[in-house]
Structure 1
Amino acid sequence: MRLKNAVAKIELYGWRAIKLCLMLGLIELPQFALSLPKLLLKYVNGPIVYILTWMIFIGGYVAVTFILFTYLQRRHPERKIIWRPKGKEINTIIIGFIVLMSAKMIIGSFMTQQTANDAAIEKLFKISVNTSFVMFFMTAIAAPVVEELVFRGFLMDYFFTDQPIFAILLSGLIFGSIHSSTNFISWLMYVVMGIILAATYNKEKNLAANISLHFLNNLLPSIVFLLSSLHQMLK
């Protein structure tokens, strides 16, 4: 009987791991649109290339968000994804943001250069004016939504549901590992960010609050990258 239960549990978590991998692949698909201008300009000229890029990019993220949102709403209809902010939740976002910024400053003080993830994002911002705005939409708006739906909404409600500490650590580890890192310190920074976001979700069980916190974290760097790239390309 014990062996049968153990096998059943392994099969269950194996299937859940496959679902998680599929979702991780799903959130990467819309980024395919970033390579379209370079490919299509060989065959098509004019604004149609950039219109297609935006349509595929935004359409992809809308589709991914809809799939994840629908899945989570069916699984946990009581969880808040769209909500009217209340005082307590706003306080949680503010405190979470302060903790996030403090952690980034402390860990960042041990770094001698920009993280590989930020360097890659900044490089993409500078491809063209059109790509700059596409990247701003992705980093400031789309990424906080889909990443919170996957790493908090799905992952934390699917693995170690009765062991929140393990769920928080797993969420942070996977979140940190999907962001490009070339050294331990930069990897640790993203892991700690993931753990803080996961702890916030574990406390409030409110995806909208998490998305807002993630949005605030991404907004300022996205604005800096956008203005810097536009200044270089338009001067």
Structure 2
Amino acid sequence: MKNIKNTYHPIKVILLIISFLGLFILEQLPLSILTLSKKQLGTKYSSYLNYAPIATIVLLIIAAIIIILVFKRAQKFPTQKFTKSTWLVIAIGSILTLLINVATVPFMRNTNDNVEALKLVASNNIVILIIFTIFVAPILEEIIFRGIFMNWFFVNRPFLSILFSGLLFGYVHAPFAADTDWIYALSKILLGIVLAGVYYRTKNIKADITVHFLNNFLAILSGALMSGVILF
């Protein structure tokens, strides 16, 4: 971030990359528990539906505590209080995310791997999916991709920090491959860049969490009206 000096050594960079990947996997694990199907489990499916949500919640609590504690140690500047300027940045960020969705959604495929996985979770426990999408994802994804990434990597180069935060955010939502829905990937990259910009300008993780929350909340509403296309 701005005006912060940081010296990197190769070993330190490698350790930071490994740690970052570990935190990302940790954040993904809770919801992945609910991605098994009746076809895969057969007669064990009923028991799975009883215990999987409990395991998901327990693991989510553990993951959230670890991720938040790491973030508190990672952030290299004092969190700034919310001001009128903060709310202005949030408003601008929210408008930009809305424009991104309006410009890209009509050109996306009807489905992709990310959406299919979320539909499977919904079939197993719709309540947990809604809670995760509206509340958990905005908090933990912002802490990881903005709060931790931008304080660990390219600290003295804000442009690169914002850009790579967006690229990485897009990649994990739509891994780049020959069959990638590039419009969907582009929307996530742009969304990530906007959210990174909000964090950089406000110096308060709650600001980009707010923008992310509004994006996901509106996505759920629009998802019920737009041919099953859901933006998470």
Residue 89 of structure 1 is aligned with which of 61, 75, 86? 86
- Percent of residue pairs bearing the same amino acid type: 27
Structure 1 residues 106-185: aligned runs within 5 Å: 106-109=103-106, 111=107, 113-114=109-110, 116=112, 119-120=115-116, 123-124=119-120, 127-128=123-124, 131-180=125-174, 182-185=180-183
**2:9 aligned counterpart, secondary structure:** helix
* Residue matched to 2:11: 11
2:23 is matched with 23
CA distance in 2, matches of 1:30, 1:105: 31
- Structure 1 residues 54-65: aligned runs within 5 Å: 54-65=53-64
Matched residue of 1:162: which SS? coil
Residues 70-81 of structure 1: matches in 2 within 5 Å?
70-76=69-75, 79-80=78-79
**Does 1:42 find its partner at 2:39?**
no
Amino acid paired to 1:10: P
Contiguous gaps of at least 5 residues in structure 1: 1-7, 229-235
Return the alpha-carbon distance in structure 1 between the equivalents of residues 123 and 165 of structure 2.
32
Give the drift of 1:88. Answer: 2.8
Which letter does structure 1 place at the counterpart of 2:148?
Answer: F
CA RMSD of aligned residues (A): 3.0
1:133 to 1:87, Cα distance in 2 relative to 1, 3 A: same
Structure 1 residues 202-230: Cα deviation after superposition (integer angstroms, max 9, x where no partner): 111111111111111001222455799xx
Offset at residue 117 of structure 1 (A):
5.4
Q: What letter matches 2:74 in structure 1? A: R
* Whole-angstrom CA distance in 1 between matches of 2:114 and 2:46: 31
Report the equivalent of 2:204.
206
Q: For residue 53 of structure 1, what is the amino acid of its counterpart?
A: A
Deviation at 1:36, TM superposition (A): 6.0
SS of match in other structure, 2:123: coil
> Counterpart amino acid of 1:14?
I
Report the equivalent of 1:189.
187
Match of 1:233 in 2: none
What is the alpha-carbon distance in structure 1 between the residues aligned to residue 165 and residue 132 of structure 2? 21
Does the CA contact (< 8 Å) of 2:108 and 2:181 recur in 1? no
Q: Using the alignment, how far apart are the partners of 2:77 and 2:165 within structure 1?
A: 21
One-letter amino acid of the counterpart of residue 113, structure 1: R
In the alignment, structure 2 segments of 5+ residues that lack a partner are 1-7, 227-232
Q: Given that residues 89 and 201 in structure 2 are in contact (C-alpha distance below 8 angstroms), is that contact kept between their aligned partners in structure 1?
A: no
**CA positional deviation for 1:173:** 0.6
Q: Deviations over 1:74-101 (max 9, x none)?
A: 3338544xx9754332222221100111
Shift of the 138–117 alpha-carbon distance from structure 1 to 2, 3 Å rule, reads farther
Distance 1:123 1:84, change over 3 A: same
CA distance in 2, matches of 1:169, 1:134: 31
Distance between the aligned counterparts of 1:209 and 1:42, measured in 2? Answer: 46
User: When the two structures are aligned, how many residues end up with a matched partner?
Assistant: 215
| SS, match of residue 114 in structure 1 | coil
- Please tell me the residue identity of whatever aligns with 2:65: F
The alpha carbon displacement at 1:193 in A equals 0.6
Scaled by the length of structure 2, the TM-score of the pair is 0.79
Q: State how far apart, in whole Å, the 2-side matches of 1:117 and 1:71 are.
A: 30
CA contact (8 A) 2:33 2:56 kept: yes
